[in-house]
Amino acid sequence: MDIKWDQILIIEEPIMFWTFIGLIVSSIGLVAGLTYFKKWGWLWREWLTSTDAKKVGIMYIVLAIVMLVRGGIDALMMKYQTAVPENTFLSSQHFNEVFSAHGTIMIFFMAMPILFGIMNLVVPLQIGARDVAFPKLNLLGFWITTAAAVLYNIAFLVGGSPDAGWTSYFPLAGKEFTPGIGNNYYYVALQISGFGSMIIAINFMVTILKMRAPGMGLFKMPMFTWTTLITCLIMIIAFPIFTIALLAGMLDRVFGSHFFTVADGGLDMMWANLFWLWAHPEVYIVVLPAFGIISEVVATFSKKRLYGYHSMVWAVIVISVFSLLVWVHHFYTMGVGPTVNSVFSITTLAIAVPTGIKLFNWLFTMRKGRIAFEQPMLWALGFIPTFLIGGVTGVMLGMASADFQYHNTLFLVAHFHYTLVGGVVYAVFAAIYYWWPKFFGFKLNHKLGNWHFWLFNVGFNLSFFPLFFLGLDGAARRMYTYSAETGFGPLYMLSFIGTLLIAAGVVFFVINMVYSSLKEKRITDRDVWGTGRTLEWLVPTPVPAYNFAVIPKVEALDEVWHRKETGKALAFDEKEIKDIHMPSHSGLPFYMFVAFFISGFLFVWEFQALAIASLALPFLGMAINSFTSYDEGYYIPAKEVIETERKGGGEQQWKAK
Amino acid sequence: MESKITNYSVPTEYQSELGKMNILGFWIFIAAEIILFATLFALYGVYHDRIGDGPAGPEVFVIKDVVIQTVLLLTSSFTCGYVITSMRRGNVKGAIVWIAITLLFGLGFLVMEINEFIHYVNAGLAIQTSAFGSSLLTLLGTHGAHVTFGLFWGIILAIQLAQRGITAFTASKVHIWSIYWHFLDVVWIFVFTFVYLGGLM
């Protein structure tokens, strides 16, 4: 080990120092608040150990929003640093750490958890199930992801943040060029978060394949459920590759092996290949559920059936296949030669076809529809042009010969922010506004929502559109500063102003959540928006723990809409209600959180023997689980279910609008 | 879940809904494991002749020992099959005894593999030696770690069988473990073919 013990806590710089103080003060405040209001027991019983998929989903979303703020502050710091030439706000080292953290956190601890959260909330409802296939495993997935997030997020104070970019290319990321332990956080934390993703993938695949309501064939599933299924499939194929890549990277750094080193036969470009073999599918892992969300929102608020449902499904499947065949386009400049580049260029451009089909289908869904400009629809409408810009510039980047011009410039940065923010984040906001009332029993405020949308939308375009031009002018990504002669200054400044608007938009979003939970009108309508199409609008609002009092029999795609149109009764006979079986709470996933955190921490700090020994901790948890898995769960009595159903708008008359 | 087996038209392990879902979930997990090992094989395929200053494969491989290892593991897969047949006949004792025999073969394999690693290190091939050493030992080590996990898992399940007998739920657990055990055997066949036999050619 080459650790300098006096450098464990990194608080010399004022930014670090004040962040450290801020963290300590807010943690003390949180603990004091929970103690003062005697909420510890409630927190533990109702949330931290809850195997209810809805609560797990909400916890995922809370984690993701906290991470969004952290990653967002990183973004603001970067943009402030580059707003003017020769700025000295951040040192080059600090800048490296900040952009690495921004990328890693936004992908692993913001985008993925927030989508996992939405899946947890929505998928069981959409397929007419009471729960996910493996409720305890589901909670474990959340806690493992959280362990990884906490581990990664303490890095900047304890030992140093990873500084080789979110791609962490070797040999830069190796020990020769990045000594110290900071970069270990990347390999260990992401390895742990990968386990969490794998759990989600298996759980939701089984849930969707096995637990659909009777009558719901695969081609009667809502689009969001379809995209979740395909996303899980890609995760199962892609994540193990990353697991091995991270393992090899960790072995290289901590145990001195030679996978990606320059010496002794290692190949640094092997990392790039393995990384992108996973990371390109990863882009689709986050964007496919977003497509699903947009499909639901556009159909609901256009009051029309989704145009070309079958072509939508096949487009998603085709995208998932192609997603695994394009990874080399991330390093055309590696020098594999024109033949290989051409092949990957063609597969890359081919992805534009199914994606284009999806865009046109959304447009055709809206055509002649009676569009309601509710909040979710605003985000969906914002999504289409922004994502289109991302897609079209993607085609530009996909052309291998042209890519030599764009490679590693801000043009690329602008492109992937247009797909990931314009695609994923817009869709996530649409999803939050869309499904929020279903779970909390009130809508988010319309006016504040408008502020959120317009500030974010204008800010986003102001922030990233200039980057296209900067990139074409030759501004490289990840540059911590530039000279005034380059002439980059004004556009960089514009971009910074845009970032401020984005931040203001997010502030309005947070204010909206707080304001609406205090002030907004409570609603108990099952079909919150009046034009709901899928099964989640059949259950009471807010959704009871058991989801469906009686499992519905499905006859059509868009079952609720179908029932409203055919005048079929949406309510059920109360005599059909029986006692409902529910899974027990479990503290074991929380133990696994602690176990993974400790073990991960020891690996990061290169206590080799101790780290390997500490792997016994999670395995012990698994053994305990095996012995205690005979728990029978509990039952909600039929009487209680009937009461809840009556209270939750059960007698409401349903009519097609 | 503890209900007695009454329906003999379906194998024991498929009789509960939970058991069925667990088994499907585990097959999906196996799919992920296949990709995991495929990646390790790919790494080995690229690195097998990138030996740096260290020894090459044929210089250090002891084929006789590897053949014994292979026989041990293949036999354990065979006896693992008997675990399932005893279980389906409702024979708890038989199932536990066959699990014990399977685990003994597995343990034998593991002891020989550890020996093999010690031999490699003595012969000057460690994960720090070369890309070849890193990829070889990571591939073998990952497989060996899986076998070790399977050993503990088998012990835990044997205890549960003794405690609770054969129910739809315990049967699905044992069935899942047997899928895992057979899978490790299949991986080993690839290791034997590509690493050892391929190395000798």
What does the buried/exposed string (b/e) look like for A495-530 if buried means 16 or more CB atoms within 10 Å of the residue's CB? bbebbbbbbebbebbeebbeebeeebeebebbbbbe
Residue B161, C-beta contacts closer than 8 angstroms, at least 6 positions apart: B92, B95, B96, B99, B170, B174
Residue A572 three-state SS: coil
For residue A336, the model assigns a pLDDT of 86
Token duo for residue A77:
């710091």
Spatial separation of the C-alpha atoms in residues A88 and A251, rounded to whole Å? 36
The CATH number for B86's domain is: 1.20.120.80
Work out the burial of residue A484: count CB atoms within 10 Å of its CB; fewer than 13 is exposed, 13-18 middle, 19 or more buried: exposed
CA A438 to chain centre: 20
Confidence of residue B5 (pLDDT cuts 50, 70, 90): low
Mean pLDDT of A409-427: 95
Enclosing domain of residue B141:
12-199
Tell me the shortest Cα–Cα distance from B100 to chain A, in angstroms.
18
Does the distance separating the beta carbons of A206 and B138 come in below 8 Å? no
Residues of A in contact with B50 (CB under 8 A): 265-267
The structural domains of chain A, with segments of one domain joined by +, span 5-524
Work out the burial of residue B198: count CB atoms within 10 Å of its CB; fewer than 13 is exposed, 13-18 middle, 19 or more buried: middle
Most B CBs within 10 Å: which of A242, A259, A581, A627, as the mutation test of the B interface? A259
| pLDDT tens for each residue of A289-342 | 999 999 999 999 999 999 999 999 999 999 999 999 999 999 998 888 899 999
Position B170 in a domain: yes
Mean pLDDT of A89-111: 94
Does the distance separating the beta carbons of B21 and A133 come in below 8 Å? yes
Domain count of the fold of chain B: 1
Question: Is residue B13 within 8 Å of B23, Cβ to Cβ?
Answer: yes
pLDDT at B3 over 60: no
Question: Is residue A311 within 8 Å of A333, Cβ to Cβ?
Answer: no
Question: Is residue A394 within 8 Å of A468, Cβ to Cβ?
Answer: no
Most A CBs within 10 Å: which of B28, B120, B173, as the mutation test of the A interface? B28
Confidence of residue A656 (pLDDT cuts 50, 70, 90): very low
Of B29, B40, B164, Cβ closest to residue A202: B29
Spatial separation of the C-alpha atoms in residues A479 and A90, rounded to whole Å? 12
Token duo for residue A134:
């493996």
Question: Is residue A298 within 8 Å of A365, Cβ to Cβ?
Answer: yes
Token duo for residue A307:
């145009």
Residues on chain A bordering chain B, Cβ-to-Cβ distance under 8 angstroms: 133-134, 198, 201-203, 205-206, 209-211, 236-237, 239-241, 243-245, 247-248, 251-252, 255-259, 261, 263-267, 270, 274, 619, 623, 626-627, 630, 632
For residue A1, the model assigns a pLDDT of 47
pLDDT at A355 over 60: yes
Lowest mean pLDDT among A7-11, A65-69, A105-109: A7-11
Which ipTM did the prediction report?
0.94
CA angle A137, A586, A141 (to 5 degrees): 30
Of B28, B36, B138, Cβ closest to residue A251: B138
Q: Is the dihedral of CA A187, A192, A196, A201 positive or negative?
A: positive
Token duo for residue A571:
């309510």
| pLDDT tens for each residue of A429-474 | 999 999 999 999 999 999 999 999 999 999 999 999 999 999 999 9
Position B136 in a domain: yes
What does the buried/exposed string (b/e) look like for A128-143 if buried means 16 or more CB atoms within 10 Å of the residue's CB? bbbbbbbbbbbbbbbb
Position B46 in a domain: yes
Residue A476 three-state SS: strand
Task: Say which CATH architecture domain A5-524 belongs to.
Answer: Up-down Bundle (1.20)
Mean pLDDT of A155-162: 87
Per-residue DSSP letters for A198-246?
HHHHHHHHHHHHH-PPTT--GGGS-HHHHHHHHHHHHHHHHHHHHHHHH
The maximal CA–CA distance of chain B, rounded, in angstroms, is 65
Does the distance separating the beta carbons of A265 and B132 come in below 8 Å? yes
Question: Is residue B170 within 8 Å of B161, Cβ to Cβ?
Answer: yes
